[in-house]
Amino acid sequence: MKFHGSIVALVTPFKNGKVDEKALRRLVRYHVDSGTDGIVPVGTTGEAPTLSYEEHERVIQIVVETAEGRIPVIAGTGSNSTEEALFLTRFAKKVKADGALLVTPYYNRPTQEGLYRHYETIARKAEFPLVLYNVPSRTGVALSPETVARLAKIPHIVAIKEATGSMDQTSQILSLCGITVLSGDDSLTLPLLALGAKGVISVIANILPADLSRMIEYFFEGDLEKAKEIHYKMFPLCRALFIETNPIPVKRAMKLLGLCGDELRLPLCPMEPNNEKRLAEAMRRYGLKVR
């Protein structure tokens, strides 16, 4: 399975403390209709750390069922426990997701050898397409380019979501191996495409799916000027979506657009009023109709 293009890091909508299954299905259909190239449920943006195992599995199952094979589903199945990550990955395989996104184990702070063995064990035992997820700002540990190159030799490890914020990191990875790189930072998507990345796992795709897909299409069609035009227009809004911890701003933006509610689970909480005003203004400047 090859993953590419605009892949949305999907929010998990809540209502009265529970997963809003109706809204979740509606969001999946929205992305299918908008030209999104793939969906990642229960990742960072999907608030995976606050979901129970039952909820985590239910969200994956709903997204797979609603997508109906029309676009790939890459289920977030990462954990700081190798056995737990393997359990969730096997579940994603069982319900016929197309792959799994596995964040580096957080809190444990494993060595590079520990990271290698973590992913190698899951790849060998699950036999399912895996996307590495490198986001040290969240986990406290980073995959080195050399470790990525080692992992790229293992069957079933097919891609990496690079969210280090470093173009040097992607350059080093691609100089060492041919693994598929997917941007993990919306504001760096176009620069990373120029380095050889194949797409993005995106937060902003939750609210601008068609525009982001179009930018990536323009790039691969060779129309760099049109791709840059969208990039520069989108850039201020990309930054505004991270004025507080993701997914707080994007959920608020989705409520302002009428896509779903903005309910969060503690320890995440609603935006500060001044930041909400900044977000709404960035949305209006982009041309979005804010409720």
Residue-wise pLDDT tens for the chain (291 aa)?
A: 689 999 999 999 999 999 999 999 999 999 999 999 999 999 999 999 999 999 999 999 999 999 999 999 999 999 999 999 999 999 999 999 999 999 999 999 999 999 999 999 999 999 999 999 999 999 999 999 999 999 999 999 999 999 999 999 999 999 999 999 999 999 999 999 999 999 999 999 999 999 999 999 999 999 999 999 999 999 999 999 999 999 999 999 999 999 999 999 999 999 999 999 999 999 999 999 998
User: 229: which residues sit within 8 A by CB, 6+ positions away?
Assistant: none
Query: Which tokens sit at 252?
Result: 């608020």
Active-site residue flag, 119: no
- Unique residue bearing structure tokens 């992607």: 170
| Residue 155 and residue 123 in contact, taking contact as beta carbons nearer than 8 Å | yes
* Pair of tokens at residue 173: 């990875």
161, 184 contact by CB (below 8 A)? yes
Active site residue 15: no
CB atoms within 10 A of CB 47: 21
Q: 288: left (phi > 0), else alpha (psi -120 to 50), else beta?
A: beta
Q: Beta strands of 38-178 (E only): which ranges?
A: 38-40, 74-76, 99-103, 130-134, 157-162
CATH number for the domain running over 5-223: 3.20.20.70
Q: What is the pLDDT of residue 1?
A: 64
Q: Which of 93, 119, 161, 198 is the catalytic position?
A: 161
Given this model, what pLDDT does residue 291 score? 80
Tally of residues, the chain = 291
Inter-residue long-range contacts of 87-92, CB under 8 Å, 24+ positions, other chains counted: 88/53, 88/56, 88/57, 89/122, 89/126, 89/128, 89/130, 90/125, 90/126, 90/128, 91/57, 91/60, 92/60, 92/128
Specify the pairing of strand 14-15 against strand 157-162.
unpaired
Phi, psi of 179 (to 5 degrees): -60, 145
Q: Where do we find the tokens 């709404």?
A: 280
Selection from 126, 133, 144, 52 nearest residue 83 by Cα: 126
Q: Find the catalytic residue in 133, 198, 218, 251.
A: 133
The domain locations on the chain are: 5-223
Interatomic CA distance for residues 112 and 102, integer angstroms:
16
State the residue for tokens 């979501």. 161
